[in-house]
Amino acid sequence: MEVKLREIQKTATEEILNVKDKKELNDVRVKFMGKQGLLTSILRGMKDLAEEERKTVGALANVVRGEIENNINLKMKMFEAEELERTLNSEKIDISENAVGIEKGALHPVSRVINKLVDICVAMGYEILQGPEVETDYYNFEALNIPKNHPARDMQDSFYISDNILMRTHTSPMQARTMEVRKPPFKIIVPGRVYRNDNDSTHSPVFHQMEGLVVDENISMADLKIQLNIMMQRLFGENIKTRFRPAFFPFTEPSIEVDVSCPNCGGTGCRICKGTGYLEMLGAGIVNPKVLEMSGIDSKKYSGFAFGTGIERPAMVKNSITDMKSLFKNDIRFLKQMK
């Protein structure tokens, strides 16, 4: 019996070695270990053996069975690994996904002009301040020498919150607010949003300005002209010419309005400058001594100049825009062209 067992082990090992697939392997399993299997029938026949012999043969039979099972399992694992490898090689899953395109944004034309003006002024030593958009009647008008019932208020049709509180109509209130709390000398600019009850192709109820104020000893119109010339040339280009016209603002005396030669046509006249060759850019002047005094600055010792420029006008000129509204509609197709 022992010999038979050894023989079974040998043939089983050989056959397991030679099977070509899972099915053949299974056939081998049935052949040796199945109910009618060769090994099974030997094990069954053991009950007829003498006790002593049964022990040794039993032990050997267990070893043989373990060995065969082990080999079958190893072979099965090998087939499974091969099968997996084959499926992995044949099934290609495309796990890539269409990427969402990254659109490059651009700064709004208004932001670009503000940034540019701020850069120009900071390079000339100005400090940037910001002020409240909801303003008192006092700072928006009174402290700028525009008393109640003054006709200059008419030019700035306003949005009132209550009798004495309104949306600021210009950035000039920051002149008074600054002079009240600072000792000269100082050089400040105030970029920001302002509000007026205006609404047509060149006016919007909300728009932007940048105020400038310099207070020191011996400040004169010459200083103002130099600063504005530099500012306008850096904003529009070295070839720009400026033109200073006498004007009136209650808070500056004397006052001027500043035009620049049209950057679009160079001064010969075009659609942008409506044929005049010049574009009105800003108001400015020497700070009215009355305004200095109202804010507690000694007008005998100090003088100052101030200017206030709109932002939308330069943004329109620089981008050949004729309708101011297009700056506020935020139509993405329009803004895309502004890059």
- CA–chain centroid gap for 228, Å, is 33
CA angle 175, 284, 141 (to 5 degrees): 45
Question: Residue 259 in contact with residue 245, Cβ under 8 Å?
Answer: yes
Nearer to ligand DAH, 176 or 306 (CB): 306
Q: Of 308, 313, 315, 317, which one interacts with ligand DAH (CB under 6 A)? A: 308
Helical residues (DSSP H) of the chain, grouped into ranges? 2-18, 22-33, 38-45, 51-90, 109-123, 137-140, 173-181, 221-236, 289-294, 312-318, 326-329, 332-336
Q: Of 29, 116, 170, 208, which one interacts with ligand DAH (CB under 6 A)? A: 170
Give the nearest distance from C-beta 252 to ligand DAH in angstroms. 4
Give the nearest distance from C-beta 142 to ligand DAH in angstroms. 14
Nearer to ligand DAH, 29 or 170 (CB): 170
Give the x/- contact pattern for ligand DAH in 263-292, rule: CB under 6 A.
Answer: --------------------xxx-------
Give the nearest distance from C-beta 104 to ligand DAH in angstroms. 35
State both tokens at 203: 């006016």
Give the nearest distance from C-beta 309 to ligand DAH in angstroms. 8
Nearer to ligand DAH, 32 or 307 (CB): 307
Question: How many residues appear in the chain?
Answer: 339
Phi, psi for residue 222 in degrees, rounded to 5: -65, -40
Burial 76-111 (b: 16+ CB within 10 A, else e): beebeeeeeeeeeeeeeeeeeeeeeeeeeeeeebbe
Handedness of CA 157, 144, 210, 129 (dihedral sign): negative
Give the nearest distance from C-beta 211 to ligand DAH in angstroms. 6
Nearer to ligand DAH, 27 or 142 (CB): 142
Q: Of 232, 303, 307, 327, which one interacts with ligand DAH (CB under 6 A)? A: 307
Question: Residue 251 in contact with residue 172, Cβ under 8 Å?
Answer: yes
Give the nearest distance from C-beta 285 to ligand DAH in angstroms. 4
How far, CA to CA in Å, does 14 sit from each of 17, 72, 165?
Answer: 5, 11, 103
Nearer to ligand DAH, 20 or 148 (CB): 148
Give the nearest distance from C-beta 286 to ligand DAH in angstroms. 8
Q: According to CB under 6 A, which residues from 197 to 256 bind ligand DAH?
A: 211, 249, 252, 255
Question: Residue 38 in contact with residue 1, Cβ under 8 Å?
Answer: no
Please spell the DSSP secondary structure of 135-180, one letter per residue.
EEHHHHTGGGT--TT-GGGGGG---EEETTEEE-SSSTHHHHHHHH
Nearer to ligand DAH, 116 or 170 (CB): 170
Nearer to ligand DAH, 15 or 280 (CB): 280
Q: Of 273, 306, 311, 327, which one interacts with ligand DAH (CB under 6 A)? A: 306
Give the nearest distance from C-beta 223 to ligand DAH in angstroms. 13
173 binds ligand DAH (CB under 6 A): no
Cα distance between residue 188 and residue 129, in whole Å? 7
**How many chain residues interact with ligand DAH (CB under 6 A)?**
12
Give the nearest distance from C-beta 308 to ligand DAH in angstroms. 2
Question: Residue 234 in contact with residue 120, Cβ under 8 Å?
Answer: yes
Q: Of 158, 172, 204, 295, which one interacts with ligand DAH (CB under 6 A)? A: 172
Residues that bind ligand DAH (CB under 6 A): 170, 172, 211, 249, 252, 255, 283-285, 306-308
